Amino acid sequence: MSIGHTLLGLLESGPRHGYDLKRAFDEKFGHDRPLHYGQVYSTMSRLLKNGLVEVDGIEAGGGPERKRYAITEAGITDVARWLATPEKPEPYLQSTLYTKIVLALLTHRDAGDILDTQRSEHLRSMRILTDRKRKGDLADQLICDHALFHLEADLRWLELTAARLEKLREAVTR
């Protein structure tokens, strides 16, 4: 995820302080990985330097001055371009799990055990996500669905690989 573009998008609804941006980001996108304040302020500094935001006001308080940021026209254009650009699908052609299976076969270990252990871990993760989805709001449900669909695809791959394990052993140990 592009933190900078996400913060710019949040600024389109109006000027905000860094603290407010962090809170909005965490509420909408940071359920599992909230932003650190330093990340917000370093990103805002970069966006300011690149002309994508401007300081809309400075407020003095009991602590350091609080800058209020506003998105510029260049920032709006940049967010629009980012939103319109499709994300590159991740083909997972270099899978750590595939590497483990091949190495297990090459070293005469039980690759079936590795597949079984991984299947159990995937199922455990799916149970946790399904429970979270059941209790969550619509945004959380969609995030969980995305993860669950990927885990389901991984499970299909695990089953296919288990069914082809002997052929794979023959192919990699020639």
Q: What is residue 94's predicted lDDT score, i.e. its pLDDT?
A: 63
Q: What is residue 48's predicted lDDT score, i.e. its pLDDT?
A: 97
Euclidean distance between CA atoms 27 and 24, whole angstroms: 5
Q: What is residue 30's predicted lDDT score, i.e. its pLDDT?
A: 80
Euclidean distance between CA atoms 135 and 127, whole angstroms: 13
Structural domain boundaries of the chain? 1-82, 94-171
Tokens matching residue 51: 């002309």
- N- to C-terminal Cα separation, the chain: 42
Q: What is residue 1's predicted lDDT score, i.e. its pLDDT?
A: 63
Write out the CATH class of domain 1-82: mainly alpha
Q: What is residue 40's predicted lDDT score, i.e. its pLDDT?
A: 95
pTM: predicted TM-score of the whole model, two decimal places: 0.72
Tokens matching residue 163: 């069914």
Q: Are 70 and 57 in contact (CB under 8 A)?
A: no
> pLDDT of 36-54, one tens digit each?
999 999 999 999 999 999 9
Q: What is residue 174's predicted lDDT score, i.e. its pLDDT?
A: 84
Q: Are 73 and 37 in contact (CB under 8 A)?
A: no
Instruction: Average pLDDT across each block of 10 residues of the chain; the chain has 174 residues. List them in order.
Output: 91 95 90 89 96 92 83 96 86 79 92 94 96 94 95 95 95 88
Average pLDDT of the chain to the nearest whole number: 92
